Amino acid sequence: MAWTKVCAESEIPEGSIKKVWARIGGGIPIAVAHHKNGYVAIPPVCPHLEEPLEDSGLVVGCKLTCTKHLWSWDLETMALKDEAELPLKTYDIKAEDGNLMVYVTEQLEYTFDEDEDIDEATFFDDDDDDDDIW
Ligand code: FES
């Protein structure tokens, strides 16, 4: 694995975030945010509840906010802001000859708690078993 071109710098204006692909294997999805002082390459989903950051992410100054539940991060220091409880994972990124290059050794992903998606049967089960007929 090595530095891989993901797009032209002009495709991601300052104050925006875009989903791109590293052409490695079957393709690795990456979100690139262009903040006031540079670029950050991260997995394309929010570490809270997997919202696609190209839809829910808002870049203002050096801050990225997922507008779904207002988790935010300082993209310069990567410090957690506002409601954020988990850090962002990052890929190294650099600009070269008008292109953005990302260093990818493996796909970075977050672990999501299955309990966040409670199915209907679990939700309505009061656990006292007095209404179970089977
Ligand atoms: S899904 Fe992003 S803050 Fe909740």
**What pLDDT was estimated at residue 116?**
57
Q: Which fold has domain 3-107?
A: Rieske Iron-sulfur Protein (2.102.10)
What are the backbone angles phi and psi of residue 92, rounded to the nearest 5°? Answer: -70, 140
- Helix, strand, coil % in the chain, rounded to nearest 5: 10, 40, 50
**What is the pLDDT averaged over residues 23-45?**
96
**In a mutational test of the pocket of ligand 1, which residue from 64, 66, 85 has the highest number of ligand atoms less than 8 Å from its CB?**
66
Task: Assess whether pLDDT exceeds 80 at residue 133.
Answer: no
Of residues 59 and 119, more confidence is placed in 59
For the CA of 71, the nearest atom of ligand 1: 3
Distance 76 CA to ligand 1 centre (A): 20
CA within 13 Å, CB half, 122: 6
Nearest alpha-carbon partner for 32 in 84, 97, 104, 112: 104
Contact present, 87 and 78 (Cβ < 8 Å) = yes
Please work out whether the CB of residue 57 comes within 6 Å of at least one atom of ligand 1: no
Mean pLDDT along residues 41-58: 98
- Tell me if 16 sits within 8 A of 23, measured CB to CB: no
Over residues 78-122, the pLDDT tens digits come to: 999 999 999 999 999 999 999 999 999 999 999 997 765 555 665
Report domain extents, the chain.
Answer: 3-107
Q: Which atom of ligand 1 is nearest to the CA of 69?
A: 3
pLDDT interval class at 125 (50, 70, 90) = low
